[in-house]
Amino acid sequence: MGKKYGYIRVSTREQNEERQLVALRQMDVALDGIFMDKQSGKDFQRPQYLQMMKRLERDDLLYIKSIDRLGRNYGEILEQWRILTKEKGVDIVVLEMPMLDTRRGKDLMGTFLSDIVLQVLSFVAENERSNIRQRQAEGIAAAKARGVRFGRPEKPLPEDFWPLVEQWRQEKIPLMCLLERCQMSRATFYRRLKDK
């Protein structure tokens, strides 16, 4: 029997990892065997995950609270699972899904059932990620339709902007002079003209 490890992932710095940490500590995973990333699960280029992969050896045991903590990309979850279990020879236990415990059922049927459950759960995780993106896009579109503006608020125009524009139109001052006096770029100038 190898060493016990645990992996924790939260999507943002504001999310709390406490539930995952408590679950891993209940499995007697030592604190120095727990790796935690605070970033999206869209891929596996995460510093602590990569560090853990270097440390894992054959017959080690890896605990994760749920499959979506491993990642959210269906294809990549399956690939990482294969690397961990087949190439590295590591056992994985998904605490919230007892069927995903590679220590059990090492026979053909056990492996087959575990693979099916993994594929279904990976699909669900990616599908949820896709739904979140769809809802975000719909929310942004609805907000824009209501007139909500995103990004930094626009700087107010200098008081002499419109008189300077009039002088520029009458070719009394060059554009570069106007831009310098208003401290704005050419792109901003034309956009502000268009917005009027």
Q: What is the DSSP letter of 183?
A: T
CA angle 92, 98, 99 (to 5 degrees): 85
Question: pLDDT tens digits, residue range 33-50?
Answer: 999 998 887 788 899 999
DSSP strand pairing (91-94 vs 34-38)? unpaired
Number of residues in the chain: 196
Ranges of H-type helices in 9-160: 18-26, 47-55, 67-70, 74-82, 108-145
Question: pLDDT tens digits, residue range 125-139?
Answer: 677 778 888 888 888
Question: pLDDT tens digits, residue range 81-140?
Answer: 888 988 898 999 999 888 788 887 666 665 676 677 777 777 776 777 788 888 888 888
Whether pTM exceeds 0.75: no
Closest alpha carbon to 88 in 129, 56, 65: 56
**Choosing from 11, 40, 66, 122, which is the catalytic residue?**
11
pLDDT over 80 (residue 14)? no
**Helices 186-195 and 175-182 sit at what angle, rounded to 10 degrees?**
90
Integer Cα distance of 58 and 47 in angstroms: 21
* Catalytic annotation present for 66: no
